[in-house]
Structure 1
Amino acid sequence: MPGNGEALTRRSEARTGEAPAPGLPRGVVILFAVACGAAVANVYFSQPLLVTIGHDLAMSPALVGSVVTLTQTGYALGLFFLVPLGDVTGRRRIVVAQLLLLAAALTVVAAARTAVVLLVGMAATGLLAVVTQTLVAFAASLASPAGRGRVVGLVTSGVVIGILLARTVSGLMADLAGWRSVYLASAALTAVLALVLHRTLPRHGDAPPAGLRYGQLLRSTVTLFARERLLRLRALFALLVFAAFSTLWSSIALPLSEAPYFLSHTAIGALGLVGAAGALAAAVAGRLNDRGLSRRTTGIALALLAVSWLPLAFTRSSLWALLAGVILLDLAVQAVHVTNQTLIYALHPEAGSRLIGGYMVFYSAGSALGAIAATSLYTVAGWGAVCALGAAFSCLGFVLWVFTRHSVPDPATKASARTGG
């Protein structure tokens, strides 16, 4: 019996006269966004809970710090080793299987009574949370070329909200019911999403071309980077903008917890609510890409990213300046991110999972670079130096765009022109 998504898709096809692939009902897109946000949030839940977890399991500060490191390492490994599987195996089955395994890993974390069990569970959680990127590639494959930017933008909005609200939600739940409740609740939600997606996801996007063995699949990811200049360029944009993003979000708690603010962890976590404005940029950028404006969108967003560090530099004297800078930065980062994903998927839709998985490795590298550099720099030189670092990453991205904006054609722009979009 067909799932709800198939029925919705057929009704959409009847109205529009489109073939199966172009039609993707808005309700299904929203479900993709919810699943993406819920999955990626698991990577960030632990950050405000580290002290509590360390006390509960008698872990040393160094061992507690490895919780985040292992989770992020697992995520990076999953991007390269798991996400490409979507190009040779049915994405629908992979999504459901990974969500069920993710629910099991979260249950292990919630039940952990020793540091070893916790760390294994955290590494597995990071590894399996890359189902987010499989969902992005799946959504892109189901969208028409003329509407792909809108779909990727909406789905990425879910990712943005999941990342930025994860810390706030986990902090509040931990205060109410303890840190284990965060992972138990997430495990239950993940299992429910797996069942809903099993019934709802369209089947017509569930049979990608086969013919590659696993080793060939991984090698082909590297080959794609060697062959496609646009992919390399957009991966560099990702590295720089997420280095700037991480420079802010990995260090902002430091000045806010000191004079003159002395804000609580809950209040600092609530700053993520302001950053969720980036979800709006993701949706708008997607529509601009569908209109063939990807190059211009990238340039404007990178310019705004550089400008955002001006108000951020006044964080110690004005919370309003901080809020303005956060909004500008998150709007800019998500606009570039959506544009990047839309363009690289259009290069080789049949290799969408490999393209997005490989691209996201640079995202992770940029995030790690920004976090390590910002926290180290704050210790020795203060907040002004951190802002200079973030501005440097941002300006490098803008300069790169200036020198390459006419040298690499945008496949999404061509597709838009062919369809009259």
Structure 2
Amino acid sequence: MALLFAIACGLSVANIYYAQPLLDTLAEDLQVAPSSIGVVITVTQLCYALGLLLLVPLGDLLNRRRLIVTQMLLSTAALAAVSFAPTFTVLLAGLAGAGLMAVVTQVLVAYAASLASPAERGRTVGLVTSGIVIGILLARTVAGLLTDWAGWRSVYQFSAVLMLILAGVMFRALPRQDVDKATLSYLQLLRSVLALYKQERILRVRAVLALLIFSAFSILWTSLVLPLSAPPYELSHTAIGAFGLAGVAGALGAVQAGGLADRGFGERTTGIALLLLLLSWLPLSWLDRSLTAVVIGIILLDLAVQAVHVTNQSLILRVRPEARSRLTAAYMVFYSIGSAAGSIASTTIYGYAGWSGVCLLGAAVSAAALLFWRLTLKPSQS
């Protein structure tokens, strides 16, 4: 069941990342100015953030099986609309819907934590969360390959079919009964998300860590395409997308972080991972000398980010069994803020200081994360 959840998470979250390597093709096909096509990414990410606040908490209120299947069916419809979009407006509307429904991944993470036994919860969350990171990284590779083979529309047609099949599988596989439901109205449910920040220190600390580590993650992955597509490398979109495979190797290596959290090593795992995150920027800074060094840096960075992310969720989802969907939503809002901030800062810095500036920025954010973790560590945990 955990493996099924991981696959479902990967396929769902990929829907908001397929467009990243396709922007030039979309602009040409739909006759949109290159300077305006970037709104595709902005709209998708904003709708994803909106879904985190408005839809993910529903997992504590409604039957999760019905909620998950409904979101997947609506995602199928949105992806189909994108694949047949005759105009840029229709494309944006479809991608907005796909971004909104992609938050089913976080409903699945909270649900997996609820189904797992306390002794296995961290390990289960680690496995399911690895599906998300792998989906993000492989989305670029899959989009590039399918576009080269059959055009950009085939990417969304392929994904729509997969989501429809997945909805059927989840309808049959998920338990029909649900437990630990909140007895709140929808508005009370949304207000309680904000209350969780005040009530749970572990949520506040781990949410800030999420903001910082995913800022570093976006700093790398947003700007990496720029030096790799420029001289002397001038790599194709497909070749650049293949670097995501190195990231997958790192993400898979961090699956056991949740198991370490189960055994009481959550803080130690966090500290080691944050140190690796900081060190990863050294080989990444050697891009002009060695692509092998870049691959090593990618593996280290994705291993570190995934390890901290899995540990974060493992620790947070222990505290309030009846509010796991709301805890996930509250945590992931900071993930979205960090991702957006890292993307904007990365491209801006690249324009002023090139790849070396990007690496200095990434190292500074990583150092801030390590320092914040150390300052918030209780004496009994150090």
Fold shared, TM-score > 0.5 on shorter chain:
yes
State the match for 2:374 in structure 1.
402
Tell me whether 152-161 or 256-265 shows the greater mean CA deviation.
256-265
Matches within 5 A, 1:325-340: 325-340=297-312
How far 1:147 sits from its partner (Å)?
0.5
Q: 1:181 aligns with which of 118, 129, 154?
A: 154
1:346 pairs with 318, 326, 330, which one? Answer: 318
Deviation at 1:402, TM superposition (A): 1.2
Distance 1:101 1:148 in 2: 29
Cα separation, 1, equivalents of 2:40 and 2:346: 19
Q: Distance in 1 between matches of 2:230 and 2:155?
A: 28
Provide the C-alpha distance between the structure 2 equivalents of 1:186 and 1:409, rounded to a whole number of angstroms.
Answer: 45
Alignment partner of 2:297: what SS?
Answer: helix
2:218 to 246, 250, 258: 246
Cα distance between partner residues in 2 of 1:143 and 1:408:
28
Larger radius of gyration: 1
Corresponding residue number in structure 1 for 2:64: 91
Consecutive aligned runs of 4 or more in structure 1 exceeding 6 Å deviation: none
Q: 1:43 aligns with which of 6, 16, 19?
A: 16
Work out whether 1:302 is the aligned partner of 2:274.
yes
Q: After TM superposition, give the deviation of residue 407 of structure 1 in Å.
A: 5.7
Contact kept, 8 Å, 1:96 with 1:198, in 2: the verdict is yes
CA distance in structure 2 between the aligned counterparts of 1:409 and 1:156, rounded to whole angstroms: 25
Aligned to 2:91: 118
1:217 paired residue number: 189
**Correspondence 1:223-242 to 2 at 5 A:** 223-242=195-214
SS at match of 1:250: helix
- Aligned-residue sequence identity (percent) comes to 60
Task: Give the letter aligned to residue 93 of structure 2.
Answer: V
1:382 and 1:213 map into 2 onto residues whose CA distance is: 51
The partner residue of 1:165 within 131, 138, 149 is: 138
In the superposition, relative to structure 1, how do residues 408 and 281 fare at CA in structure 2: closer, same or farther (>3 Å)? farther
Deviations 1:235-272 (A, max 9, x none): 00000000000000000111111222111111111000
Q: Across the two proteins, how many residue pairs are aligned to each other?
A: 382
What RMSD over aligned residues (CA atoms) do the two structures have, in Å?
1.3
Which residue number in structure 2 is paired with residue 359 of structure 1? 331
2:349 corresponds to: 377
Q: Distance in 2 between matches of 1:138 and 1:282?
A: 21
Q: What is the CA distance between 1:214 and its match in structure 2?
A: 0.7
Q: Is the alpha carbon distance of 1:240 and 1:259 closer, same or farther for their aligned partners in structure 2, counting shifts above 3 Å?
A: same
CA contact (8 A) 1:89 1:208 kept: no
The two structures have a TM-score, normalised by structure 1, of 0.89
Structure 2 residue matching 1:259: 3-state secondary structure: coil
Aligned to 1:153: 126
Matched, 1:283 2:264: no
Report the alpha carbon displacement of residue 404 of structure 1 after superposing the two structures with TM.
1.5
Compared with structure 1, are the counterparts of its residues 174 and 393 closer, same or farther at alpha carbon in structure 2 (3 Å cutoff)? same
Q: Take 1:177 and 1:257, find their aligned partners in 2: how far apart are those partners?
A: 22
Query: Is 1:255 aligned to residue 227 of structure 2?
Result: yes
